[in-house]
Amino acid sequence: MNLSERRSLLDALNEPILLVDQSREIILANRAAQDLFGRQIEGLDFSRTIRHPSALQHLDRVLAGNTIGPEPNIVFQMSGPIPTTYKISVSQLENHTEPAPLVLISLTDISHILEAEQMRSDFVANVSHELRSPLTALTGFIETLKGAAKDDPKARARFLDIMEREASRMSRLISDLLSLSTLETNERIRPVSRANVPEIIARVIATLSPQAEAIGKTITFTAPDLSEADCTIIGDEDELIQLFHNLVENAIKYGRAKSEINISIKTDKNLTVSVKDQGEGIAPEHILRLTERFYRVDSGRSREKGGTGLGLAIVKHIINRHRGKLIVESVVGEGSNFIVQLPLINNDTP
Ligand code: ADP
């Protein structure tokens, strides 16, 4: 294969690839490598592009024909507006026409793998932390009940109440984690059944009204007079109940005392549901991050209200599965409006 055939072959690959001769000179850089290191790198010594001692050492070993043993894991980072991490592989080319074998160096972008690993380990650390605090509280109260408060019925009753709250916090956390994991597994599979959204919202309101009324809040629901077909979407009823349950429950939790929660539906191309509260509102810098797992604007307040920090992450996954969109509008000191857009059955092309 001549140089121009090699070039057209290597240009077709997305990974940056360099071909280096025995004197370490770059004799060919494919298009991706030129995009990364500049158009002028052919003819330069390899050490002018990747200044990485282990990469150079390994290259020298391979050039000397020493390719025995496992390939070392050589990783290097390119700085720039978006820092990118590459894994470098060096391999000798079988070559019968050249006097000395050439070496091919390929760079694989592993940034997304590292990011996923980081997210996974952050997630495990978060879950452990979230479970540890109620567990620590429970262990502490068990000690107290066995010792100091053993013969104090009043203290016992109070501590048992707290223990019940902590235990239910743990069980809510576990059920939210299970929901998230099921949703993540199914996210790419579209629901197949039909769901009537006003009916679902009415059921959510019926479930949550006692909780709202107990703290002096009222829920209003405005739905236009629509035939059943107009408000039908392709959707999973249980997931949609969970979606609106989480939004209305948040409006109750974070709304001002004795305030109103207004839920309304309108239809055009999509079916749009708005869950609006009169509450503390959310500052703009938090809005984009609300659907991250365990992201809370005020951790103390969320925990005091029994929050797990996973409600909106679940909401986001359900909306994604239904090919919908979440818009959050909020004014600090006035309140928030969580708007869910879902494709109506007539406009939906599964
Ligand atoms: P949590 O269990 O903490 O309520 P969510 O995922 O449901 O977790 O919400 C994440 C964070 O977003 C909450 O901790 C809260 O700070 C903020 N938030 C959610 N809904 C509202 C709302 N209606 N008004 C003000 N802040 C809200």
In a domain, 328, yes or no: yes
In a domain, 115, yes or no: no
Residues 220 and 157 in one domain: no
pLDDT-wise least confident of 61-75, 121-135, 315-329:
61-75
In a domain, 279, yes or no: yes
229 pLDDT higher than 90: no
Paired strand residues for 194:
234
Residues 271 and 176 in one domain: no
* CA–CA gap between residue 303 and residue 315 (Å, rounded): 19
- CATH code for position 142: 1.10.287.130
SS3 308: coil
Give the helix, strand, coil percentages of the chain, each rounded to 5: 45, 20, 30
Four-residue CA torsion sign, 138, 140, 144, 146 = positive
Best of 280, 290, 295 for a ligand 1 pocket test (most atoms within 8 Å of beta carbon): 290
Q: What is the pLDDT of residues 1-21, one digit of tens each?
A: 777 888 999 999 999 999 999
Residues 132 and 164 in one domain: yes
Percent of the chain clearing pLDDT 70 (strictly above): 96
Phi-psi sector, 73: left (phi>0), alpha (psi -120 to 50), beta:
beta
Atom of ligand 1 nearest to the CA of 306: 2
Residue 227 banded pLDDT, cuts 50, 70, 90? low
Residues 342 and 228 in one domain: yes
Q: How many domains does the chain have?
A: 3
Q: Is 134 in the pocket of ligand 1 (CB under 6 A)?
A: no
**Ligand 1 centre from 327 Cα, in Å?**
14
Residues 227 and 337 in one domain: yes
Residue 331 belongs to domain spanning: 190-350
- CATH code for position 104: 3.30.450.20
Please give, one letter per residue, the 3-state secondary structure of 173-220. Answer: HHHHHHHHHHHHHHCCCCCCCEEEHHHHHHHHHHHHHHHHHHCCCEEE
- Residue minimizing CA distance to atom 4 of ligand 1: 307
Atom of ligand 1 nearest to the CA of 303: 3
**Ligand 1 centre from 253 Cα, in Å?**
8
Residues 92 and 126 in one domain: no
SS3 60: helix
Residue whose token pair is 């074998």: 101
293: closest CA among 322, 317, 266, 264? 317
In a domain, 127, yes or no: yes
Best of 312, 317, 337 for a ligand 1 pocket test (most atoms within 8 Å of beta carbon): 312
pLDDT value at residue 100: 75
Q: What is the pLDDT of residues 307-322, one digit of tens each?
A: 999 999 999 999 999 9
C-alpha radius of gyration, the chain, whole number: 29
* CA–CA gap between residue 117 and residue 163 (Å, rounded): 35
In a domain, 103, yes or no: yes
Pairing outcome for strands 74-78 and 218-222: unpaired
Q: Is 290 in the pocket of ligand 1 (CB under 6 A)?
A: yes
Mean pLDDT taken over the chain: 91
- CATH code for position 242: 3.30.565.10
Q: pTM (2 decimals)?
A: 0.79
Pairing outcome for strands 218-222 and 260-267: parallel
- Residue minimizing CA distance to atom 11 of ligand 1: 296
Residues 249 and 316 in one domain: yes
Task: Give the Å distances, CA to CA, from 144 to 132, 141, 165, 170.
Answer: 18, 5, 17, 20
- Choosing from 85, 109, 133, the residue where a domain stops is 109
* CA–CA gap between residue 261 and residue 215 (Å, rounded): 13
pLDDT value at residue 283: 96
Q: Is 191 in the pocket of ligand 1 (CB under 6 A)?
A: no
In a domain, 114, yes or no: no
The DSSP-derived string for 260-273 is: EEEEEEEESSEEEE
The rounded Cα 2 to chain-centroid distance in angstroms is 47
In a domain, 260, yes or no: yes
Residue 109 banded pLDDT, cuts 50, 70, 90? very high
